[in-house]
Structures are given as C-alpha cells and as structure tokens.
Amino acid sequence: MSETTSSPPATEMLGVILDEHLRWIGQWHRAAFYRGGQGGDRASAPASFAAWCAAASRDDLVHQPAVQKLATMHEQMHRQARLVLLKAGNGDTPTEAEYEAVVGRFEEFVLHLRRMERAFGAAASGLDPLTGLRTRRGMLEALEREHSRYRRTGQSFCLALADIDKFKGINDTYGHDIGDRVLAATAAVISRGVRSFDEAFRMGGEEFLVCLKETEMAEGFAVIERLRIDLMESPVLLPDGRAIPVTASFGLVEAQPDLSVDELIVCADRALYQAKNAGRNRVIRHGVDRPPAAANPAPSKPARPRA
C-alpha cells in the first residue's frame, strides 16, 4: 500500500534544484565533449525544476517577477544546452561561443537561484530582504498588540502609510535595479527617522507603514513631516554621478477607541490617497486636513494610484 505525502513548499525546493543543476553541468560537459551528445535524461535537464514550477504555481508564487525570471533563464539555458548536445551527436565539436553561451547562462541561473533562496529565507523570517524592514507577515499581529495596549492604558499611537511618488516612472526610466536602490534608500530614511521602539513595515511594492507608539496626532505629524523632508533632501546617487530626487506622500491617522486596526489602516489609506490627489510630497492627517479639491476627487472607497 503506497503512502501519500504532500509535496514540500516551493521555497524549500530551491536547494534541491541547485544541487541537481551542479551535477547536471558536469554531466552535460561529458556528454557534449566526450560522449557524442549522449548522457541520458540528466544531461538534458534535471526533473526537479518542473516539479518546482508546479509547486510555485500551487503556492501562488508563479506570478512573482523573480520566479518568472528564473523560469525564463532555465528555459534559455537548457534550450542552448540541447542544441549543443544535438550538434555533438552529429559529430561536430561545439564552438567556444556555443560553450560560453551555455556556461554563462548556467552561472547567471545559479546566481539568481541563490539570491532567491536567500530572499525566501528572509521572507520566512518576516524580514524584507531588500529593505531590511519587517513585511506584512506578522504586521497585523504587531498592530493588534499595540491597539490592545492603547485600549488598556489609554496611551495613543499613530499609523502612517507612505507611498513613494511616481515610483513607476523611476523604474521605467532607470530600470528595476535602480528602483530597488530607491526602495532601500527610502527604508533607510524611515529607519533613521523613527525611535527604536517604533515599528516600520514594507507593505509591498513602494508602500510602507510606520507605527508610532505612545504618540498623539500633533507629535506624529511632526515626526512624519520630518521624514518627508529628510527623504526629499536625500536624493539617490547613481554610479555615474547623477542624482534621483525621491519624495513620498503620507497618510496619518491617530488611534481611536471605536476603530479597529483594519479600519485605522483604511483611514490612513484614504489620507494617503488625498495626499496623492492634492499634488504628492505631503502629509495628510485623517480627520484634520482638508486638502484643496483636485480635478479627480477621491471616491468613498478609493482605488489609489501607485504613483
């Protein structure tokens, strides 16, 4: 009688893929140069990657850009490797350029695989590997603890949502590597600008959340306004000497007894939408500020633009 076992998560299979491909490249070398293109199935491609793709789809990771990039690199590498084996099977020695095409793609594949392995490991720990901030994982639990403390002691706190202005334009103009540098630099400004017992999270994309503990609206506004100015005065420097100006818009809300954590986040989100709609690079306090009317007024449940 066979035993049914569940497949491991995709994030745990990357090490298996790495090990199999390190063995595969040796087998491919022998098949291409000494065995007339013959080396069994392993010389063509290890089976582990197809299993990993199935697991990635099951774990809803398949649409992640890093996963798609890895799949593309894998397909290109093995297509080129098969062409070399086919040529060797016909008695032709692969050229140096054909050899380098396979080895170069293999090295890029392994490098990206190791980066993903480290990133998934960091994500499992609740830290964003790019910015070093905590992720959504555990965020609501941390905010619920602060909300419970507020109800117990009466010491208020503030939540601020921040969104980098026109971030898509930065990615489109300079590329995603520079976009990542902007994200990391923004996180560094946030980390420097809050107290050690405050908490900051990367919500995803170019959006961040800051929890200012034991803080009422007036003090919270002063802190977030200082963050906004610090970010505006900290352009990201490129290797060629150019500087990318970076600004962000903020929505700020103070805890209220009748509002849950989810409702507080919605209030901060609406204030952030107002900040974007009123011209960006500003702090809007929920329930306090009334920004001037814009051409496209915010709906009651806004579909906030990511710009």
Catalytic residue annotation? 206
Whose CA is closest to 257, among 147, 95, 134, 133? 147
| The two three-digit tokens of residue 28, written as one number | 């491919």
* Secondary structure of residue 113 in the 3-state scheme: helix
Beta bridge partners of 127: 134
- Return the number of other C-beta atoms located less than 10 Å from residue 1's C-beta: 2
Give the strand order in the sheet containing 207-212.
Answer: 199-204, 207-212, 158-164, 248-254, 283-285
Distance CA 100, CA 270 (A): 53
Distance CA 278, CA 291 (A): 6
| The two three-digit tokens of residue 132, written as one number | 């070093």
Whose CA is closest to 198, among 183, 215, 221? 215
Whose CA is closest to 152, among 257, 267, 258? 257
Which H or E run contains 237? Answer: strand 236-237
φ and ψ of 215, to 5 deg: -140, 130
Contacts of 17 (CB under 8 A, 6+ apart): 46, 48, 49, 52, 113
